[in-house]
Amino acid sequence: MHESFIIAVDDEGMLLIDQHVAHERILFDKYRKKETERKLESQNLLLPETIDLTPAQSIAFDLIEEELENYGFGLMRLSGRTVAIKSVPTDLPASEVRNLFAEILDTVDKEKRGFAKETLRDDIAASLACKAAVKINMKLTTEKMQWMIDRLLTTSSPTTCPHGRPVILRLTMKDIERGFHRS
């Protein structure tokens, strides 16, 4: 529906699934699972992205460089506060690299007083999942929608995205019958 929501049915009624946040949940779980197993796969950028960090971002980068590499970033400190990004996680569109990198560093800077590695890993995985997930108004094939529903149901929390937003709205048969004054 409107190339943003997947309409599905199950034994209990009808489901309306937000394709962006559903894919975000799938990717978040994938990143958190891979991160505990081994380094995520990366893709090399044709041209490395060079980013001049603010002083605060530079400090944040020093704190989390290793974590970022575990998530599939290939990084190199050039001179001073300049960093080159040579490779990125395979799901991440190259156009999102600069924004995501700055977003992660800014999040770390804001939270470093209560610096906890587990929270940091969740923040990185959530930011990465959001940027890599299919967008709203993006046409999906029937196969991709089915894949997404199947994968969503195997995640750690199929009803919410990593940021806590709902993924699925359910309309039970009872709700539908009540709406048509049949109950």
Please state the rounded mean pLDDT for residues 9-25. 95
**27 belongs to a structural domain:** yes
**Residue 180 pLDDT:** 95
**96 belongs to a structural domain:** yes
**Residue 134 pLDDT:** 92
Task: Please state, rounded to an integer, the average pLDDT across all residues of the chain.
Answer: 89
Q: Give the CATH number of the domain where residue 115 resides.
A: 3.30.1370.100
**181 belongs to a structural domain:** no
pLDDT digits (tens, 9 = 90+) for 102-122: 988 888 777 665 556 667 788
Please state the rounded mean pLDDT for residues 174-182. 93
**Domain enclosing residue 63, as ranges:** 5-171
Please state the rounded mean pLDDT for residues 166-176. 95
**176 belongs to a structural domain:** no
pLDDT digits (tens, 9 = 90+) for 61-86: 998 898 898 888 999 999 889 999 99
**Residue 87 pLDDT:** 94
pTM score, whole prediction: 0.80
* Secondary structure, 3-state, the chain: CCCCEEEEEECCEEEEEEHHHHHHHHHHHHHHHHHHHCCCCEEEEEEEEEEECCHHHHHHHHHHHHHHHHCCCEEEECCCCEEEEEEEECCCCHHHHHHHHHHHHHHHHHHHHHCCHHHHHHHHHHHHHHHHCCCCCCCCCHHHHHHHHHHHCCCCCCCECCCCCECEEEEEHHHHHHHCCCC
**35 belongs to a structural domain:** yes
Please state the rounded mean pLDDT for residues 37-50. 84
What is the count of structural domains for the chain?
Answer: 1
**182 belongs to a structural domain:** no
**Residue 112 pLDDT:** 61
**Residue 36 pLDDT:** 64
